[in-house]
């Protein structure tokens, strides 16, 4: 029993040793190999075993000879003397079992390490880097925008941590984005809500962190877990965490604020997309303006403290810049107001919100009297708003929000018609449920991709048509159905000679080129818009408050209004004149759109944001001015 107990204990210790992994095996086999070589060398030396005609080998020579024969069996081919040959044969057999095993373990360990590297489980040693948590279609636009924003940095590192395979992520990024010389992309596989995996990407030293929402319905619950994991990792730099996160449901905002406090900037994505769809469906070209403002390749929004304008009015500030455009004020308490009352006085500690090509192009004009042609200003009276009739084709979770948001803009007696494949008994769009004041809702069951249904809808009665994507389908399939509906709509519109506004929601930006064949007035590429907003807020935290105000129905928003309501057409005027005309109405002009270039991609479809104000422009009758206004 004692012998068995000893054997069991030895076997148990051996099993524990073997379970320690490659390093333990390599170190143990290396020690065993060394002991074997030294022992055999000493035996050969002490026993006086030597080749015929040779003197006794000293211990060092004997150990060297044993080492050579364990590494290479062919070394003993020239040995002389049977006693020496037999001894070296035993040494070679020992080398086969011990040294070969060591080499095999080393090879296996290297293969395992390479496999771990392929899986993306190695630690990232970076500081002041950008971390993206999660993976979706948004990641491609997001990285493109971040690369543009950091073009002036010599070495920018963006680390992506998601549960996707590292190699597949890297291949997808190369296929979509190509090589970015100034940006290093590092992919790691892991869970964004696991503290160990977050430590692997050195999140405690990141400059900014962007949390992408997963596609499943538990996105907010997963976000809460991720934020808890991040905030429980101690920061290794003096700056607090700068986290930008997508939230699907407004009910999650309270718990997120409790977790993140001032370290988390939230984008309520579903609500934002609903607002953009509503605003865009009523104004052709508005989505192009949004894309221009959110794109790092053109004009951007900055905050500028201007001591020279303290004590002056906001209206005065509108005319104080030639190559930049003022759109609002950031007050000393951090509050944001776009297009405040014209007589609002600028005080110490307050900053102007400015659109400009870069922060170093925000310079006050040297002109004491801007070149304004007051005689060209003609402010037309606004007529009474008419009832609007909107058709929504398709269904997703944003239908109710879109209808409620639309109710805040339209005139009384307006209507909304929703067409989707659900039975009417499964849909509750009653006026009481949605708390509508200005419009009534009708529902019709049907397939929006059915040509006969499109023909039966009598499209000439509608002012606006919204084509929604199906979020329950794969992006490619959803966009394919959207394109079918869009082609039918255009064909009916062309045959009936009825001009109505069509807004199309597309998931994958790569399908935009296909959609342009159908010539829609506007696209709302939801993933692209959200990606650009995420990138903007990740680079400049205060912009989140600007976007919140910009897309809120309460306050000033972007409108596209006829130029002829502000200045005379067919007469050259400076944009200073347009700004002054808008200023007299309590509005902030930020640009214009030429109808003649509406189909010209090279000219941004006619949209010009932040034009140089002292240059002369000749407007055509259908051109519009882009401005911030209450209505």
> pLDDT tens digits for 577-609?
999 999 999 999 999 999 888 877 778 888 999
The dihedral of CA 187, 188, 194, 197: what is its sign? negative
Q: Has residue 382 got a pLDDT over 50?
A: yes
Q: Note the pLDDT of residue 513.
A: 63
Mean pLDDT of 456-469: 91
* Architecture of the domain made up of 17-117: Orthogonal Bundle (1.10)
Task: Give every CB contact of residue 335 below 8 A, 6+ residues apart in sequence.
Answer: 545
Q: Note the pLDDT of residue 271.
A: 86
Q: Note the pLDDT of residue 115.
A: 67
Which DSSP state fits 411?
P
Task: Give every CB contact of residue 590 below 8 A, 6+ residues apart in sequence.
Answer: 325, 327, 355, 558, 609, 610, 626, 627, 628
Q: What is the dihedral of CA 533, 468, 169, 152, to 10 degrees?
A: -20
Q: What is the mean pLDDT of the chain?
A: 84
**pLDDT higher at 506 or 539:** 539
Domains 17-117 and 123-274 fall in the same CATH topology: no
| 117-157 tens-digit pLDDT | 666 678 888 899 999 999 988 899 899 999 988 888 878 89
Give domain limits for the chain. Answer: 17-117, 123-274, 282-379+533-629, 389-520
Cα–Cα distance, 522 to 539 (Å, whole number): 28
Q: Residue 56: in which H helix or E strand, if any?
A: none
Task: Assign domain 389-520 to its CATH superfamily.
Answer: NAD(P)-binding Rossmann-like Domain (3.40.50.720)
3-state helix, strand, coil in the chain (%, to 5): 45, 20, 35
Q: Note the pLDDT of residue 118.
A: 64
Specify whether the CB–CB gap between 390 and 464 falls below 8 A.
yes
Position of tokens 């718990």?
Answer: 255
Q: Note the pLDDT of residue 518.
A: 47
Cα–Cα distance, 512 to 501 (Å, whole number): 18
Question: Is residue 95 helix, strand or coil?
Answer: helix
Task: Give every CB contact of residue 491 below 8 A, 6+ residues apart in sequence.
Answer: none
Cα–Cα distance, 196 to 192 (Å, whole number): 9
Bridge pairing between strands 557-562 and 624-629:
antiparallel
3-state secondary structure 491-555: HHHHHHCCCCEEEEEECCHHHHHHHHHCCCCEEEEHHHHHHHHHHHHHHCCCHHHHHHHHCCCCC
**pLDDT higher at 37 or 260:** 260
Q: Note the pLDDT of residue 1.
A: 45
Q: Note the pLDDT of residue 260.
A: 84
pTM, 2 dp: 0.79
Q: Which CATH class is domain 123-274?
A: alpha beta
pLDDT band for 521, please (50, 70, 90 cuts): low
| 259-306 tens-digit pLDDT | 988 899 999 888 888 888 888 888 888 888 888 888 888 788 999 999
| 209-260 tens-digit pLDDT | 999 987 666 788 899 999 999 999 999 899 999 999 999 888 888 999 899 8
């Amino acid at each position: 029993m004692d012998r068995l107990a000893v054997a069991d204990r030895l076997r148990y210790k051996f099993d524990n040793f073997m379970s320690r992994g490659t390093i333990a095996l390599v170190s143990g086999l290396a020690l065993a190999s060394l002991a074997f070589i030294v022992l055999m060398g000493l035996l050969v030396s002490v026993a006086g075993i030597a080749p015929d005609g040779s003197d006794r080998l000293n211990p060092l020579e004997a150990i060297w000879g044993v080492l050579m024969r364990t590494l290479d069996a062919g070394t003993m081919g020239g040995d002389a003397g049977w006693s020496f040959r037999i001894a070296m044969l035993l040494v070679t057999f020992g080398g086969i079992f011990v040294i070969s095993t060591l080499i095999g373990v080393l090879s296996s360990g290297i293969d395992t390490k390479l496999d771990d590297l392929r899986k993306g489980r190695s630690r990232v040693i970076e500081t002041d880097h950008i971390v993206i948590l999660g993976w979706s279609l948004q990641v491609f636009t997001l990285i493109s925008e971040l690369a543009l924003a950091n073009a002036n940095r010599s070495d920018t590192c963006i680390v992506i941590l998601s549960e996707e395979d590292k190699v597949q992520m890297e291949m997808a990024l190369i296929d979509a984005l190509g090589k970015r010389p100034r940006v290093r992309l590092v992919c790691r596989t892991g869970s964004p809500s696991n503290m160990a995996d977050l430590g692997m990407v050195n999140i405690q030293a990141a400059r900014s962190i962007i949390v992408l929402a997963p596609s499943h319905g538990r996105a907010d619950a997963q976000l809460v877990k991720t934020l808890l994991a991040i905030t429980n990792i101690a920061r290794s730099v003096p700056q607090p965490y700068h986290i930008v996160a997508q939230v699907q449901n407004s009910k999650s905002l309270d718990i997120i604020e409790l977790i993140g406090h001032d370290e988390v900037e939230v984008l309520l994505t579903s609500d934002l997309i609903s607002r953009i769809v509503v605003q865009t469906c009523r104004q052709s070209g508005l989505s192009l303006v949004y894309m221009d403002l959110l794109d790092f390749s053109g004009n951007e929004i900055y905050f500028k403290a201007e001591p020279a304008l303290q004590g002056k009015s906001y209206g005065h500030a509108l005319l104080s810049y030639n190559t930049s455009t003022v759109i609002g004020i950031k007050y000393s308490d951090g509050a944001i107001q776009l297009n405040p009352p014209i007589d609002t006085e600028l005080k110490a500690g307050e900053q102007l919100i400015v659109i400009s090509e870069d922060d170093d192009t925000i310079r006050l004009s040297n002109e004491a009297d801007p070149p304004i042609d007051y005689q060209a200003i003609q402010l037309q009276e606004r007529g009474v708003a008419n009832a609007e009739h909107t058709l929504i084709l398709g269904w997703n979770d944003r239908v109710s929000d879109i209808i409620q948001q639309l109710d805040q803009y339209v005139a009384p007696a307006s209507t909304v018609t929703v067409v989707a494949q659900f039975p009417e008994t499964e849909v509750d769009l009653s006026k009481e449920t949605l708390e509508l004041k200005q419009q009534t809702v009708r529902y019709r069951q049907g397939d929006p991709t059915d040509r006969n249904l499109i023909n039966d809808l009598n499209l000439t009665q509608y002012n606006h048509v919204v084509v929604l994507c199906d979020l329950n389908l794969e992006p490619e399939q959803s966009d394919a159905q959207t394109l079918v509906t869009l082609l039918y709509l255009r064909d009916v519109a062309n045959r009936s000679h009825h001009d109505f506004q069509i807004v199309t929601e597309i998931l994958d930006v790569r399908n935009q080129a296909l959609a342009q064949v159908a010539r829609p007035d506007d696209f709302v590429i939801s993933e692209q818009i959200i990606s650009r907003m995420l990138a903007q807020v990740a680079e400049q935290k205060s912009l989140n408050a600007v976007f919140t105000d910009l897309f809120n129905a309460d306050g000033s928003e972007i409108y596209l209004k006829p130029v002829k309501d502000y200045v005379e057409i067919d007469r050259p005027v400076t944009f200073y004149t347009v700004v002054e005309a808008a200023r007299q109405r309590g509005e902030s002009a930020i640009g214009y759109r030429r109808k003649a270039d509406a189909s010209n991609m090279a000219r941004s479809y006619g949209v010009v944001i932040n034009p140089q104000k002292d240059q002369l422009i000749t407007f055509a009758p259908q051109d519009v001015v882009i401005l911030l206004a209450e209505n």
